[in-house]
Structure 1
Amino acid sequence: MKTVAVLVFLACLLATEVQGQNKFHRGRCFCADKGVDVVLLKNIEKFEIIPASPSCGKQEIIVTLKSAERKCMNPESKLTQNLIKRALGKMARQ
């Protein structure tokens, strides 16, 4: 009886397909697309730079607006590049 149970268990193990973890899991990124190019500077309350990581292979720029809405910024847009330069400049001065 025990050998039958062991054989059934082994057959179940062989029948299941085991996959490795995907390096760039889409569910871990905050931004689903490339993001917006322009946001009014006066409406920005908070600015976050999230570097690429093992769970999300791209750099993400997220702004929180005064209306508590969060928007993903396009890292390649001129506005976003200027915001990054300003943030790095402020960090260097501190």
Structure 2
Amino acid sequence: MKIITAMVILGCLLVVEVKGQARSPKSRCFCANQGVNMVSPKLIEKVEIIPQSPSCKTQEIVVTLINSMGKKCLNPESKFTQKYIMKAVKKRSLHKK
């Protein structure tokens, strides 16, 4: 009986002492890499700007292409992307007035 009690106590101590390893959180970004620097504006159907979040530490700009050609990630740092976004913002602000 004493052996069984000792084994149970030992087992409980081992369970309490074992700790899980801390994992680094995996990012859940849509864009696997930095993205392309340019896409023909004629091919762009829709633009999505995805801000930084706890699951993805980078801002992402995703364009949907016409004729079911898929989606592409744009490099937020490229001059093309910055100019295209600024034009879209200006165009949208003119339509709201």
Using the size of structure 1 for normalisation, the TM-score is 0.76
**Structure 2 runs not aligned, ≥5 long:** none
The alpha carbon displacement at 1:20 in A equals 5.6
Q: Give aligned-pair identity as a percent.
A: 44
State how far apart, in whole Å, the 2-side matches of 1:32 and 1:79 are.
Answer: 20
Q: CA RMSD in A?
A: 2.3
Aligned length: 91
Rg larger in structure: 2
Counterpart code for 1:59: Q
Cα displacement string for residues 34-67 of structure 1 (whole angstroms, at most 9, x for unaligned residues): 1001111111111010011111111000001013
Which of 17, 20, 28 is matched with 2:20 structurally? 17
Q: Residue 54 of structure 2 aligns to a residue in which SS?
A: coil
State the match for 2:82 in structure 1.
81
Amino acid in the other structure paired with 1:17: G
Secondary structure of residue in 2 paired with 1:32: coil
* Deviation of the 1:88 alpha carbon: 2.4
Matched, 1:62 2:65: no
TM-score (norm 2): 0.74
Between 40-49 and 81-90, the greater mean CA deviation after superposition: 81-90
